[in-house]
Amino acid sequence: MDKVATTLQSVNTPAILVDLDIARRNIQRFQAYADGHGLKVRPHIKTHKLPALAEMQLRAGAVGITCQKVSEAEAMVAGSLEIRDVLITYNILGREKLEHLAALARKVTLGVVADNETVIDGLSAAFAAEPAPLRVLVECNTGADRCGVPTPEAAATLAQRIAKAPGLVFGGLMTYPPANGAAAVESFMTRAKVFLEAAGIAVPVITSGGTPSMMHAAEAPVTTEYRPGTYVYNDRSLVSRGVCGWEDCALTVLATVVSVPAANRAIIDAGSKALTSDLLGLTGYGHVLTRDDIAIDQLSEEHGRLVSEGPINLKVGDKLRIVPNHACVVTNMVDAVNVIEQGEISGVWPVAARGRIV
Amino acid sequence: MDKVATTLQSVNTPAILVDLDIARRNIQRFQAYADGHGLKVRPHIKTHKLPALAEMQLRAGAVGITCQKVSEAEAMVAGSLEIRDVLITYNILGREKLEHLAALARKVTLGVVADNETVIDGLSAAFAAEPAPLRVLVECNTGADRCGVPTPEAAATLAQRIAKAPGLVFGGLMTYPPANGAAAVESFMTRAKVFLEAAGIAVPVITSGGTPSMMHAAEAPVTTEYRPGTYVYNDRSLVSRGVCGWEDCALTVLATVVSVPAANRAIIDAGSKALTSDLLGLTGYGHVLTRDDIAIDQLSEEHGRLVSEGPINLKVGDKLRIVPNHACVVTNMVDAVNVIEQGEISGVWPVAARGRIV
């Protein structure tokens, strides 16, 4: 069975553990790659939602942070004086959000994205009377089929609208690419850049993201900036893609066996409220460290069901460490995480930007 | 497109809406059924996590509430003076949890469950010196294959251990049954009761639960008490099982269309941080009210992707109301819900027991 460190035996479970030594190594690994290829790093903080980890990323060389929502950015900026440059990679709409955005722009260097005219017009109306213009990047669909303008021509058209809009400046091009999307990014962004430069509009930033393909970011040399998120913690989905190993997973869920009702079945006190139902294409809800023979085949909110083909060899009270399928969503479930340094718990950190959905 | 009430147009999205009129109707419907069959009702508060809604359930006739974890029970008891009787349907283990449990037992009438000797021995050690004994029910596996002793004989054996343990009293039998499990519950519990009564041990309570089969609870007449949870809100999974209609769904997610990047695709500002990834066997992540032609085919944390076979006929800024697959897990994502009465927002209620996982 899993050898959970003695120091973890007394932790009230379920608990989220974050190993800072592993996180630091993960941060440094990608920063070194990016530095070697002349790429700026702007980590997405959705994975950790912790101002102190953003500071670790900035001190390693990141140029700023990425957030997904205005309230998330507010929580991060409120939590650290070192966070001075924020890109919100989201279409911001609505009076209340725009007021908060304007207030935030008075505090830090701020950028947002837009993929349609309605958003641009709203941003322009909100910033026309502000002391400084807002930087707006055009979000481009390079194949992930989520948000984003569909063609380089459409990107150029929207960029021109931003460039002409009162209160706004055109900040560049942004995409969240599909897996292995470097070639698609290179092709789309190069063409969009040509159109824009022909129209006399410079493209200061071309920013891409995504942990799975981050070590191939330089295969799209038109890119100037990269926004990895999950890389700081890693998770089962990234191990399954061959991107990292279990020893690179900084976030784990500590759980206690509460029942062993059959020879090949055990129940732990971590269910979907800790591990979440995210599958990311996988089977099962997480990996029990050192127990490759166990599958977590079913979750309810407070129960995780572990099954094994042979005897499960667990007893009530045993503690297990589980690598979740998706680290980012686990962070969002809890008010605080237990921080580990050199194998010992060194602190309990509130998850400052948890639950910031607006 | 969905006709979202004018009063909801100004709500900052995504937002969780709880229609109290519908919730009240749902509560009264099951209470009337239970009253008609001589069944006590002990609602599981995991669905709403709101002391005020527990009060509505108690005033309608519930005998107490059900919680899943000690911290959840603490939050509910702290939130309402009317909550005086709590059953925690979970194996409680570990020094810290047992201390909290003992403190809670000094405040309210408390029961817990156990399905193994380790848990019983821990409870006994924690309560041996307490002023009043703790009521412990035996959890029985009637086919759901989660926790629970496997046979009526094993239930009787464990009940006898509880009856003899210092600081504990045997409180009865508990199960979370499989779908359509009334016959299995009746068979298991009747046999366990015979064994126990033959040993001179009375069985004061036999408690079952689950919303999907709740209107068939009386088909297991050995049952004395029922613990429905989701019935207060209902959700897409219950509509798909034919248990209720969309008009019975009290909890909805209000979202704004932030992008319409293709003729048959739109993106809303509610992703897995609002709707969650729970599928409960369904395809897609929720139902857009009044738009049966739309599927929510993909979620990322802050984006929901809507697709339609024909033109999607949505524009950026449109607001939609979505019935999630699973209401209980949505409640756990947010710090507060917007309460609706008579079609108007009448309050913003903090979700007192959100995120209480220990």
Q: How does pLDDT run across B107-119, given as a tens digit for each residue?
A: 999 999 999 999 9
- pLDDT value of residue A321: 98
If you average pLDDT over residues A281-303, what whole number do you get? 97
pLDDT of residue A4 exceeding 80: no
Alpha-carbon separation of residue A276 from A266, A294, A324, B275, B285 (angstroms): 18, 18, 8, 12, 14
- pLDDT value of residue A6: 79
**Measured on CA atoms in the order A33, A36, A38, A41, is the torsion positive or negative?**
positive
**DSSP designation for A298:** E
- pLDDT value of residue A191: 98
pTM for the model stands at 0.97
Instruction: Evaluate whether A284 touches A270 at the Cβ level (below 8 Å).
Output: no
Q: Best interface-test mutation with B: which of A140, A357, A358 has the largest number of B CBs within 10 A?
A: A357
Residue of A99, A100, A72 lying closest to A86 (CA atoms): A72
Percent of chain A with pLDDT over 90: 97
Instruction: Count residue pairs from A and B with Cβ separation < 8 A.
Output: 173
- At A162, list the tokens: 């931003």
Rounded to whole angstroms, how far apart are CA atoms A136 and A159? 9
If you average pLDDT over residues B49-71, what whole number do you get? 98
pLDDT 10s digits, A54-70: 999 999 999 999 999 99
Rounded to whole angstroms, how far apart are CA atoms B154 and B172? 14
Mean pLDDT of the residues in chain A: 97
- At A249, list the tokens: 């997973």
Q: Best interface-test mutation with A: which of B74, B158, B258, B319 has the largest number of A CBs within 10 A?
A: B258
Residues in chain A closer than 8 A to B298 (CB atoms): 146
| pLDDT confidence bin for B5, thresholds 50/70/90 | confident
A97 and B12 within 8 Å at the Cβ level: the answer is yes
**Measured on CA atoms in the order B315, B321, B324, B329, is the torsion positive or negative?**
positive
Å from A36 to nearest chain B CA? 31
- At A299, list the tokens: 């979750």
- pLDDT value of residue B276: 97
- pLDDT value of residue A3: 56
If you average pLDDT over residues B89-117, what whole number do you get? 98
Instruction: Evaluate whether B137 touches B173 at the Cβ level (below 8 Å).
Output: yes
What's the 3-state SS for B141-197? Answer: CCCCCCCCECCHHHHHHHHHHHHHCCCEEEEEEEECCCCCCHHHHHHHHHHHHHHHH
Instruction: Evaluate whether A326 touches A237 at the Cβ level (below 8 Å).
Output: yes
- Nearest CB among A118, A141, A357 relative to B316 is that of A118
pLDDT of residue A5 exceeding 90: no
pLDDT of residue A347 exceeding 60: yes
| Farthest CA pair distance, chain B | 71
- At B10, list the tokens: 């100004």
Instruction: Evaluate whether A90 touches B258 at the Cβ level (below 8 Å).
Output: yes
CB within 8 Å of B24: residues ≥ 6 apart: B56, B60
What is the number of residues in chain B?
358
**DSSP designation for B342:** T
- Find the residue in A nearest to B317 (Cα): A93
Rounded to whole angstroms, how far apart are CA atoms B160 and B181? 26
Rounded to whole angstroms, how far apart are CA atoms A23 and A201? 39
Residue of B202, B204, B201 lying closest to B111 (CA atoms): B204
- pLDDT value of residue B3: 56
Rounded to whole angstroms, how far apart are CA atoms B321 and A191? 39
Instruction: Evaluate whether B63 touches B41 at the Cβ level (below 8 Å).
Output: yes
Mean pLDDT of the residues in chain B: 97
The distance from CA B275 to its chain's CA centroid, rounded to whole angstroms, is 16
The distance from CA A162 to its chain's CA centroid, rounded to whole angstroms, is 27
A262 and B300 within 8 Å at the Cβ level: the answer is no
ipTM of the complex: 0.96
- pLDDT value of residue B4: 74
B273 and A147 within 8 Å at the Cβ level: the answer is no
Q: φ and ψ at B356, to 5 degrees? A: -85, 90
B259 and A147 within 8 Å at the Cβ level: the answer is yes
Residues in chain B closer than 8 A to A328 (CB atoms): 301
Å from A261 to nearest chain B CA? 6
What's the 3-state SS for A64-132? Answer: CEEECCHHHHHHHHHHCCCCCEEEEEEECCCHHHHHHHHHHHCCCEEEEEECCHHHHHHHHHHHCCCCC
Rounded to whole angstroms, how far apart are CA atoms B65 and B54? 7
If you average pLDDT over residues A315-323, what whole number do you get? 98
Report the SS3 class of residue B245. coil
| pLDDT confidence bin for B333, thresholds 50/70/90 | very high
> Out of A2-11, B179-188, B214-223, B234-243, which region has the weakest mean confidence (pLDDT)?
A2-11
Rounded to whole angstroms, how far apart are CA atoms A64 and A212? 21
- pLDDT value of residue A2: 43
- pLDDT value of residue B6: 79
Q: Which domains can be identified in chain A, with CATH numbers?
A: 6-17+236-350 (2.40.37.20), 20-232 (3.20.20.10)
B97 and A12 within 8 Å at the Cβ level: the answer is yes
Torsion angle (degrees, nearest 10) of CA B49, B51, B52, B54: 80
- pLDDT value of residue B35: 98
pLDDT of residue B1 exceeding 70: no
pLDDT of residue B2 exceeding 60: no
**DSSP designation for A149:** B
Instruction: Evaluate whether A190 touches A222 at the Cβ level (below 8 Å).
Output: yes
Residue of B140, B149, B185 lying closest to A262 (CA atoms): B149
B115 and A259 within 8 Å at the Cβ level: the answer is yes
Å from B62 to nearest chain A CA? 23
